[in-house]
Structure formats: C-alpha cells, structure tokens
Amino acid sequence: MPHDIRFSEKADELAGIAREIADKYVRPDSAKYDRLQEYNYEAAQAVAKAGLFKTFIPKEYGGHGAGILALARVTEELAKADSGFGVAFAVNALGSFPIVVGGTEEQKKKWLPQIGAGEKFVAFCLSEKFAGSDAQGLSVTAVEDGDDYIISGEKKWTTNGGVADIYSVFCVTDPNSKSRRISAIIVEKGTPGFEVKKIEDKMGIRTVPVVETHFDNVRVPKSNLIGSRPGMGFKHAMETLDFARPGVAAQAVGAAQGALDLATVYSNRRKTFGKPISSHQMVAGLLADMAIKTEAARALVYSAASAIDIRTAGGVAPNVSKLAAMAKCYATDVAMEVATDAVQIFGGYGFMEDYPIAKFFRDAKILQIYEGTNQIQRMVIARKMVKDASDLEHLEQYIPTESQVSYKKDEALQEN
Ligand code: CAA
C-alpha cells in the first residue's frame, strides 16, 4: 500500500543544523577520533546545544516531536561526515525508545526531558554473549526484592556504554513464562554493582564505545521497571527496534553518500592515461551505480520512517516492522557495496589509512550486523510476507497445478 513521505519544515531545519555541525565539529577530527578510539564530546555538546537530541523526544516531554523521518535525516547528515558519530547520536534514540513506547507517564517525565536536553546520554542493553539474534534467549536476571529488583549478569555490545548515563536493560523476570519472560528496567550510571568492563577494540565506528556491561546484584527501585508491568520487555524491545532500524538505515545512507562524494571528487582529480579517471567509462559506470543504489536506499529509508510517523499519528500505513527491516537491510548492504567501490576508485590509496576512504569501508561492515543482522531482517520480511499471503489467494487460479502419476500403485497422485 503506497503512502506519503512527509517532510516537515522542522525536519528540514534540523537536517540543516546537523549538516553544519557535521562540517564544523565532526568531519575535521573524524580521523583523529577514529585513530584514538575516543568519543567526540565537543561534537556531542554541539549537537546537544543545537537541540538535536530533542528530535526524537515527544513535544510533551520537552522535545521537538519531529518523528522518525526527522531522526533519519539528522542521522544521515552526521553519518555522512563520520558513520561512527552517526551511531553515537542515533543510539540515544535506540536507548530512549523503550521509555517512549512503553514507559509510564512518570518515567517519561523523569527521563525524556533530560535526554532531549542532551544532559543525559542513553544506551540499550539487549544483547548478551549467547543471545544476539535470538533476543528471547537472555540470561541476565532481575529478581524482585521488596520494592526493588536485583539485577545480575552481563550484557555484550552495549554501544555508548560508559558515555551513557541511562541504560535500558532487558532482563529475565519470569524464567518460567514463554511469552512474558522479559522486562526492561532502567539502570543509571553509578548504581552500585553496575560496571562497564571490557571496552571493545573495534574494526570501525571507533569514536563510539562498545562495551560489556556487568551487573553484580544491582539494586534498582521497581519504579524503574519500564511500563511498571513485568513481562512486557520483549514487546518493548521489538517495538523499539522497529522505530530505531530506520535510524541505522539512515546512518548507512549517510555513510554511502559520504563515500560516494569523496570518490567523485577523487575521480575528477586523479588522472590516468592523460585524463581524469571519472571520464573512463568503467569508473563512470561505478560512480553511477553507487549513486543509483544510494538514492534508492534513501527513498526506502524515508518511506519506512514516514510510515512509522504516519502510524504514530494515528494514520494508516503499511506494516512498519517489514518496512523498517527492508530499509535497514537494503541501505546497509548498499553502504557496504558503495564503500567497497569507493575504495576501488581510490585504488592503492584507498587501502591506506592516511586517505579518508578506508575508514568508510571499515565503518560500513557493522551496519550489516548490529540492530539485527541482515539475515534477521530478511527473516522478519519473509515471515510477514508469508503471513500476508492469504491476501493473494485470488492469484491461485492463475498458477497451474502439476500432477504426476505415481509408478507405485499404492501411492496417491502428487501435486505441487
Ligand atoms: N512489535 C511488537 N511485538 C512483536 C514484534 C514487533 N515488531 N515482533 C514480535 N513481536 C511479538 C510477537 O507478537 C510475539 O508476541 P506473543 O508472544 O504475545 O505472541 C513475541 O513478540 C515473540 O515473537 P516471535 O515469535 O516472532 O519472536 P522470535 O523469538 O521468533 O524472534 C526476532 C523474533 C525478529 C528474530 C527477534 O528476536 C529479533 O529481532 N532479533 C534480533 C535482535 C536485535 O536486533 N538485536 C540487536 C540489538 S541492538 C544492537 O545491535 C546493539 C546496539 O547498541 C546498536
């Protein structure tokens, strides 16, 4: 079912601000933060001061209420300069969405205004060493003790860990339940027993920390249970990922565009056989294909983000899980392809770290893995298609049915 892609003036304005911040604070020092594997606090402060963390926070809680399309456009602009900084920004939305989609009024009032103001950074603790794609297979527990929960265990791949002040932690609260096993609980930095342990040494997105978070009998009040009803955690996680995946997809579009822009500039400058390589047909063809894929990815990302905004506003839009998964899967595959082709255009220089393009290549790979591998996205898409196939029953009549006479007398005719 087609739907509108609705750009608000606010989204245009916020994307413009993000572009300026990316040019001034992100791109110039991107190589430095990548090399040092350090967080760019100066750029994050500029983002906070410009009110960009308010993009994904509803108006009632001090945000712009600008929606997922605006979030995608801001993320895209930041990621164009540095994909790692793109996720350093967008992961705050991922960590906040459990509160936005499932939090009580008190929880929203308590945390969302601080997040929007950029006073508190957020992280999302779902994955564990032995539970990544199978997000129901968690082992971190939260056990009731009077007015508190006591959390024990460890989480893996916590993006923004250490930088973040607020952690949405998914825990097993009812090990015997199949469908209501998991709950999401907020843990604040500094809570006794909560520690950031291993800080990962990564191939890409090196400006944003990815860590292990450890919970050693961490006591948190029951008022931190998101939604105040135990057992809703898996639903909140899935809804969060539906909202957040267009953000990763937008990061991918930004990364692809950033790599393409550099490759275009370089191909006009670099000469072989007496002319710029951009005038050789094979390079020109590569550039054109990179541009086509990037633009197609952008359209799909905007479509998915708009569908979520339309749904949130109470309108009619197609299945958002499927569209979000399509956008995430396609855009991130495109980012990897475009970054690979950009390295090819730079030739030997593309392989060297003193040129900017190797970083785009290293940064792109994780996009196909985190917030649900692209294999998981394809599974989500296909499951939905198969489920909806009953809408296509009228096409049955146009597909001939083959039959085969069995050579074994006692077997019935087989059909396919
Ligand atoms: N919205 C609401 N509810 C949903 C839903 C959705 N999109 N998808 C599923 N559910 C509900 C189902 O309706 C079902 O509910 P009931 O039990 O009441 O019937 C329940 O959830 C279970 O659904 P499934 O049977 O489909 O669940 P599953 O175990 O087969 O798993 C999955 C589904 C899609 C594979 C899921 O496990 C998944 O998304 N896995 C990937 C997880 C992921 O993306 N991890 C990355 C974390 S973030 C990160 O990368 C780090 C970072 O910091 C950037």
CB 159 near ligand 1, within 6 Å: yes
Residues 6+ apart with CB under 8 A from 333: 368, 374
Give the Å distance between the CA of 211 and the centre of ligand 1: 22
Phi, psi of 132 (to 5 degrees): -115, -80
- Which pLDDT belongs to residue 2? 73
Q: Whose CA is nearest to atom 8 of ligand 1?
A: 238
Give the Å distance between the CA of 34 and the centre of ligand 1: 32
CB 238 near ligand 1, within 6 Å: yes
Q: Which atom of ligand 1 is nearest to the CA of 241?
A: 44
Ligand 1, residues 130, 196, 238, 384: which to mutate, most atoms within 8 A of Cβ? 238
Tens of pLDDT, residues 363-393: 999 999 999 999 999 999 999 999 999 999 9
Q: Whose CA is nearest to atom 29 of ligand 1?
A: 136
Is 226 within 8 Å of 103 (Cβ atoms)? yes
Q: DSSP letter string over 6-52?
A: ---HHHHHHHHHHHHHIIIIIGGGHHHHHHHT---HHHHHHHHHTTG
Give the Å distance between the CA of 255 and the centre of ligand 1: 26
Q: Whose CA is nearest to atom 6 of ligand 1?
A: 238
Is 371 a catalytic site residue? yes
- Which pLDDT belongs to residue 413? 54
Tens of pLDDT, residues 123-178: 999 999 999 999 999 999 999 999 999 999 999 999 999 999 999 999 999 999 98
State pTM to two decimals: 0.95
CB 303 near ligand 1, within 6 Å: no
Phi, psi of 171 (to 5 degrees): -130, 155
Q: Which two tokens stand for residue 92?
A: 């705050």
Ligand 1, residues 210, 235, 319, 328: which to mutate, most atoms within 8 A of Cβ? 235
Is 192 within 8 Å of 146 (Cβ atoms)? no
CB 376 near ligand 1, within 6 Å: yes
CB 128 near ligand 1, within 6 Å: no
Q: Angle, nearest 10°, between helix axes 281-312 and 233-269?
A: 150
Tens of pLDDT, residues 262-295: 999 999 999 999 999 999 999 999 999 999 999 9
Spell out the per-residue pLDDT of the chain, length 416, in tens.
678 888 899 999 999 999 999 999 999 999 999 999 999 999 999 999 999 999 999 999 999 999 999 999 999 999 999 999 999 999 999 999 999 999 999 999 999 999 999 999 999 999 999 999 999 999 999 999 999 999 999 999 999 999 999 999 999 999 999 899 999 999 999 999 999 999 999 999 999 999 999 999 999 999 999 999 999 999 999 999 999 999 999 999 999 999 999 999 999 999 999 999 999 999 999 999 999 999 999 999 999 999 999 999 999 888 899 999 999 999 999 999 999 999 999 999 999 999 999 999 999 999 999 999 999 999 999 999 999 999 999 999 999 998 877 666 665 555 55
Q: Which atom of ligand 1 is nearest to the CA of 239?
A: 1
Give the Å distance between the CA of 93 and the centre of ligand 1: 18
Count the helix, strand and coil residues of the chain and give each as a percent rounded to the nearest 5: 55, 15, 30
Q: Which of 77, 295, 371, 411 is catalytic?
A: 371
Give the Å distance between the CA of 117 and the centre of ligand 1: 30
E strands within 50-147?
A: 122-125, 141-145
Cα separation of 397 and 97, whole Å?
45
Give the Å distance between the CA of 170 and the centre of ligand 1: 12
Q: Whose CA is nearest to atom 11 of ligand 1?
A: 235
CB 180 near ligand 1, within 6 Å: no
Q: Which atom of ligand 1 is nearest to the CA of 321?
A: 7
Q: Which atom of ligand 1 is nearest to the CA of 178?
A: 17
